[in-house]
Amino acid sequence: MSEIADPDLNISAIWTSVVLIDCLVRFWLICHTVDNISNAAKQSIFSLRKLRDHPSRDITQTYQHNQVTLAIVEIARTLPKLRLYGLVTLSKELLLQVMETTAAYVLMLNELKT
């Protein structure tokens, strides 16, 4: 007996694939944005350290030197992090792990289906 492919099943599979790709793209955008914000904060710390330790010593007074040091400490202490339900910190590394897990899951489902 020849089996006729169910069109509703094909549409459902296509729709599921589209939703999965959409979710992964949105997740990538969120992780990428969070990573860029964190990198910008780290870059500002680097710039402030460079300003503080510059040999020309534009910042000669102890008060100004201390203010820059306090700004560096405050930025380092409060680096922006976005946590997912308080469990994991969003970053590009998490994105790669999720994509690897999703790809492995899809491959296993495909193997079990046949």
Burial degree of 69 (CB within 10 A; 0-12, 13-18, 19+): middle
* pLDDT, tens only, 51-107: 887 766 555 567 777 888 888 888 888 877 777 788 888 888 888 888 888 888 888
Query: What mean pLDDT is predicted for residues 18-46?
Result: 87
Identify residue 87 by its one-letter amino acid code. Answer: L
> Is residue 45 a part of any domain in this protein?
yes
What is the per-residue pLDDT for 28?
Answer: 86
> Is residue 1 a part of any domain in this protein?
no
What is the per-residue pLDDT for 6?
Answer: 63
> Is residue 69 a part of any domain in this protein?
yes
What is the per-residue pLDDT for 1?
Answer: 41
Please indicate whether residue 42 or residue 64 has the higher confidence score (pLDDT). 42
Q: Is 88 helix (H, G, I), strand (E, B) or coil?
A: strand
> Is residue 2 a part of any domain in this protein?
no
Question: How many domains does the chain fold into?
Answer: 1
Question: Among residues of the chain, what percentage have pLDDT more than 70?
Answer: 85
Give residue for tokens 């089996």: 3
Report which of 97, 87, 89, 103 is spatially closest to residue 38, judged by C-alpha positions: 89
Query: What mean pLDDT is predicted for residues 26-30?
Result: 87
What is the per-residue pLDDT for 99?
Answer: 82
Domain membership of residue 29 as a residue range: 7-113
What is the per-residue pLDDT for 43?
Answer: 92
Please indicate whether residue 41 or residue 14 has the higher confidence score (pLDDT). 41
